[in-house]
């Protein structure tokens, strides 16, 4: 196909290992993220031009541990603009792998997508022998140029697999097959020239997700402070108390098993709720769900159950709910809709 007729893909860079560089080609752990110019990464993958016309913008060059709320908003606004831009058919976001799942879920919650959106990262820096970034990037661009990528929310492509934003999580600190969708598996696999679709993204039984429009929230409103606390043997309530005394707005408790919490921690939850802090109960297990009023009495304490959301995804949902200014009733509705299986029928 002539270049002019190929889909037009906007590539947005935020940094990460995919544009990381190391002092030598054997280093895959000791490197600096976001050091290679995006254009140089793209220049190393000429095959991209067989699949798309590219427009390239670097929004940031950071390690994704440093991803921050203003950059989230900038990214969301740029992608929103691209939805109305006839010169763009799909968007690819390059992102560090460490917090990629959080950004992907944030974008799912705040955007109404009419065009494919694909997030992509890499586990090995661009200078490594067998760097995985170039192939991941090629797959991301091809996916963003594919009609089947539409209507599935933000997609994540890495290591020849395609995942739904809501389901995906990083499970390895170094391996190139670092991402999984626990209990669900990928949506698709990429092999040579073909994308093999295995299933569509999850469907929320009660209908489509309640999209939180960006315009609902005043730009200058500060972001809430939400932390995750992990429960374990001998956990006590002092961490909860310290956070409450310091002005935290929300806490996600990564409980044991079904999201259970010891009596001591529950006493801390009671105090936190009385101080007006929103509390979500998730599980430190990779596979949920945490069900409302099962394991602990959520109704009595005013806790929200995370359903099948991981603690980090439950935190993103709570951040957005609090930023929107939702009260306990509004938060309950938000979690009812997004935290699947949180309520047994
Ligand atoms: N620390 C890197 C980052 O998240 C890891 C990666 O991209 O794989 O930016």
pLDDT score at 203: 63
3-state helix/strand/coil string of 102-147: HHHHHHHHHCCCCCCEEEECCCCCCCCCCCCHHHHHHHHHHHHCCH
The total number of residues written for the chain in this structure: 345
pLDDT score at 124: 98
Ligand 1 binding residues, C-beta < 6 A: 16-17, 33, 63-65, 96-98, 121, 123
Atom of ligand 1 nearest to the CA of 123: 8
* CA distance linking residue 262 with residue 290, whole number of Å: 15
Question: Domains of the chain, with CATH numbers?
Answer: 3-197 (3.40.50.1170), 225-338 (3.40.50.40)
Q: Is the model's pTM score more than 0.75?
A: yes
pLDDT score at 207: 53
Counting ligand 1 atoms within 8 A of each CB, the residue from 30, 64, 101, 158 with the most, and so the one to mutate, is 64
Mean pLDDT computed over every residue of the chain: 93
* CA distance linking residue 96 with residue 178, whole number of Å: 12
Q: Which residues have a catalytic role annotated?
A: 17
State in Å: Cα 160 to ligand 1 middle: 18
When comparing pLDDT for 141 and 202, which is higher?
141
Contact between 124 and 17 under an 8 Å Cβ cutoff? The reply is yes
When comparing pLDDT for 291 and 337, which is higher?
291
Atom of ligand 1 nearest to the CA of 63: 9
Atom of ligand 1 nearest to the CA of 18: 7
> What is the β-pairing status of strands 278-283 and 250-255?
parallel
Q: Dump pLDDT digits (tens) for 77-95.
A: 999 999 999 999 999 999 9
* CA distance linking residue 153 with residue 158, whole number of Å: 16
Q: What is the mean pLDDT of residues 177-183?
A: 96
């Amino acid at each position: 196909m002539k270049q002019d007729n190929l889909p037009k893909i906007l590539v947005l860079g935020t940094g990460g290992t995919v544009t990381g560089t190391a002092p030598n080609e054997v280093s895959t752990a000791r490197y600096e993220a976001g050091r290679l110019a995006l254009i140089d990464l793209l220049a190393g993958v000429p095959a991209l031009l067989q699949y798309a016309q590219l427009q390239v913008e670097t929004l940031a060059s950071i390690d994704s541990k440093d991803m921050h709320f203003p950059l989230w908003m900038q990214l969301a606004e740029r992608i929103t603009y691209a939805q109305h831009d006839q010169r763009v058919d799909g968007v690819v976001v390059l992102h560090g792998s460490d917090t990629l799942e959080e950004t992907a879920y944030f974008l799912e919650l705040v955007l109404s997508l009419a065009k494919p959106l694909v997030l992509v990262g890499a586990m090995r820096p661009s200078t490594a022998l067998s760097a995985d970034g170039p192939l991941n990037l090629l797959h991301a661009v091809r996916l963003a140029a594919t009609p089947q990528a539409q209507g599935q929310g933000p997609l994540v492509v890495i290591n020849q697999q395609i995942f739904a934003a809501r389901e995906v999580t990083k499970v390895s600190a170094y391996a190139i097959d670092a991402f999984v969708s626990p209990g669900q598996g990928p949506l698709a696999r990429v092999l040579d020239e073909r994308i093999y679709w295995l299933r569509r993204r999850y469907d929320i039984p009660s209908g489509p997700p309640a999209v939180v429009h960006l315009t609902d929230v005043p730009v200058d409103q500060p972001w809430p402070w939400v932390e995750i606390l992990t429960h374990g043997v001998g956990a006590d309530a002092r961490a909860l108390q310290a956070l409450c005394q310091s002005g935290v707005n929300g806490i996600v408790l990564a409980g044991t098993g079904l999201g259970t919490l010891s009596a001591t921690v529950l006493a801390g939850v009671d105090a936190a709720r009385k101080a007006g802090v929103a509390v979500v109960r998730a599980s430190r297990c990779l596979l949920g769900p945490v069900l409302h009023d099962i394991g602990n009495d959520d109704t009595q304490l005013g806790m929200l159950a995370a359903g099948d959301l991981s603690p980090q995804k439950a935190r993103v949902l709570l951040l957005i709910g609090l930023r929107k200014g939702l009260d306990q009733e509004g938060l309950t509705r938000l979690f009812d809709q997004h935290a699947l299986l949180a309520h047994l029928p």
